[in-house]
């Protein structure tokens, strides 16, 4: 997504851009994602002159966490439609890229991080997801914790839902069946990984003429796993610092302080430490629009990895 966004912006600015992608690997044509956007999504799109309402399919003022209603500000989006619009008019190449043929390469390859140097101590957690139609699914988004992670059921409109699961400790495909979310007709399925390393452990962002963006440089929240808005924000930062690699690196590191806190909590929990109430203050759920019952929701988030 960040790559399509940058291709669109750079073409508009007069650069000659070639957009590369892998051959389509999913039924929806996009990289695996549950399409749940956080509250800043409309403002980020408006800031780029795009119309968010073209892509928002459902808005939610609450979600169910372990069956408890938690006030929130979330929305599911038609992410493949946004990507398609950003790519409009751009021919997508799927063959091998010859780096010698380009002045600049943007590594927007998500978990693949195909062009930047590998990250020492990289952390990719396993995910599985289904798109289902019908069934007894809730009309609100629903989240349940499972061993080492959590499962979700996110309404997409038209009686469809994304039902998925991530775990830092176990194969999520063995966990999702126990959540009760996976009913209805299964339309498609995908397996994938999610980079939970955080930008602070994903340096460098720039190596020679290769500049990374989005999940390739760790721009996802390590506990919750949201990366749509961060990918777009990091792409904007790349444009704003197009000739200034040090400035770009600084700007990304400054943009997502809550990712660093979530990463630190994740490391403590993966190290076997039990969450303490003092940790709750370190979880920033404001981007999810959680206003009421934050402490109890944060407590449940912390329990996710403590099981």
Other beta carbons less than 10 A from residue 43's beta carbon: 11
How many residues bind to ligand FAD according to rule CB under 6 A? 32
Neighbour count for residue 153 (Cβ, 10 Å): 27
108 binds ligand FAD (CB under 6 A): yes
Residues 52-91 that bind ligand FAD (CB under 6 A): none
3-42 positions binding ligand FAD, by CB under 6 A: 3, 20-22, 31-37
Minimum CB–partner distance for residue 22 and ligand FAD (Å) = 4
Q: Is the link from the previous residue into 204 a cis peptide, with omega within 30 of 0?
A: yes
For residue 177, how many C-alpha atoms fall within 13 Å in the half-sphere facing its CB? 3
Output the CA–CA distances (angstroms, integers) from residue 99 to 4, 87, 103, 130, 305, in the order listed.
19, 21, 8, 36, 41
Which backbone phi and psi does 192 adopt, to 5 degrees?
A: -165, -175
C-alpha dihedral, 218 to 244 to 18 to 120, nearest 10°: -30
Residues whose CB falls within 8 Å of the CB of residue 116, separated by 6 or more in sequence, listed in order: 107, 204, 205, 207, 210, 212, 216, 217
**Closest distance to ligand FAD from the beta carbon of 296 (Å):** 22
C-beta of 145: minimal distance to ligand FAD in Å?
Answer: 16
Beta bridge partners of 60: 74
Q: Which stretch binds ligand FAD (CB under 6 A): 42-50, 56-64, 102-110, 173-181?
A: 102-110
Least distance (Å) between residue 273 CB and ligand FAD: 26
Q: Annotate each residue in 226-265 with x if it binds ligand FAD (CB under 6 A) or - if it does not, as one string.
A: xxx--x----------------------------------
What is the nearest approach in angstroms of ligand FAD to the Cβ of residue 292? 22
Task: Please report whether residue 2 would count as binding ligand FAD according to CB under 6 A.
Answer: yes
Stretch that binds ligand FAD, among 50-58, 104-112, 245-253, 289-297 (CB under 6 A): 104-112
Stretch near ligand FAD under the rule CB under 6 A, chosen from 59-67, 108-116, 181-189, 262-270: 108-116
H/E segment holding residue 268? helix 257-270
At 152, give phi and psi (nearest 5°): -135, 155
Closest contact distance (angstroms) between CB of 38 and ligand FAD is 6
Contact status: 109 vs ligand FAD (CB under 6 A): yes
Binding test (CB under 6 A) with ligand FAD, winner from 40, 58, 160, 215 = 215
Please, what is the end-to-end C-alpha distance for the chain in angstroms?
33
3-state secondary structure of 144: strand
Q: Which two tokens stand for residue 52?
A: 């968010």
192, 197, 249, 285: which one contacts ligand FAD (CB under 6 A)? Answer: 192
Among 172, 225, 275, 289, binds ligand FAD (CB under 6 A): 225
Tokens 């508009």 sit on residue: 12
Tell me 1's DSSP state. -
Count other C-beta atoms under 10 Å from residue 98's C-beta.
7
| Least distance CB 290 / ligand FAD (angstroms) | 15
| Nearest position to ligand FAD, beta carbon | 227
Instruction: Please report how close the Cβ of residue 3 comes to ligand FAD at its closest, in angstroms.
Output: 6
Contact residues toward ligand FAD (CB under 6 A) are 1-3, 20-22, 31-37, 108-110, 112, 114, 127, 129, 164, 192, 194, 214-216, 220, 225-228, 231
């Amino acid at each position: 997504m960040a790559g399509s966004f940058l291709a669109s912006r750079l073409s508009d600015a007069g650069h000659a851009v070639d957009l590369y992608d892998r051959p389509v690997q999913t039924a929806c044509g996009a990289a695996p994602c549950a399409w749940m956007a956080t509250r800043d999504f409309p403002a980020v799109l408006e800031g780029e002159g795009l119309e968010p309402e073209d892509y928002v399919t459902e808005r939610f003022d609450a979600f169910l966490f372990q069956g408890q209603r938690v006030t929130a500000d979330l929305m599911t989006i038609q992410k493949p439609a946004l990507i398609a619009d950003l790519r409009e008019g751009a021919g997508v190449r799927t063959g091998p890229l010859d780096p010698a043929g380009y002045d600049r390469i943007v590594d927007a390859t998500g978990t693949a991080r195909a062009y930047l140097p590998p990250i020492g101590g990289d952390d990719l957690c396993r995910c599985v997801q289904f798109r289902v139609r019908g069934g007894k699914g809730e009309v609100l988004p629903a989240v349940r914790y499972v061993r080492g992670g959590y499962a979700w059921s996110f309404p997409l409109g038209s009686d469809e839902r994304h039902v998925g699961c991530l775990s830092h400790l176990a194969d999520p495909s063995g966990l999702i069946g126990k959540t009760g979310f996976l009913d209805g007709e299964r339309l498609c399925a995908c397996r994938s990984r999610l980079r939970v390393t955080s930008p602070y452990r994903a340096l460098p962002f720039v190596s020679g003429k290769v500049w990374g963006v989005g999940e390739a440089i760790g721009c996802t929240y390590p506990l919750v796993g949201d990366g749509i808005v961060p990918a777009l924000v990091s792409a904007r930062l790349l444009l704003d610092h197009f000739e200034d690699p040090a400035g770009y690196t600084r700007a990304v590191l400054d943009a997502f302080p809550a990712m660093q806190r979530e990463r630190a909590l994740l490391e403590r929990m993966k190290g076997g430490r039990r969450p303490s109430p003092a940790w709750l203050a370190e979880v920033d759920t404001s981007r999810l629009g959680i206003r009421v019952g934050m402490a109890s929701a944060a407590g449940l988030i912390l329990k996710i990895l403590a099981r």
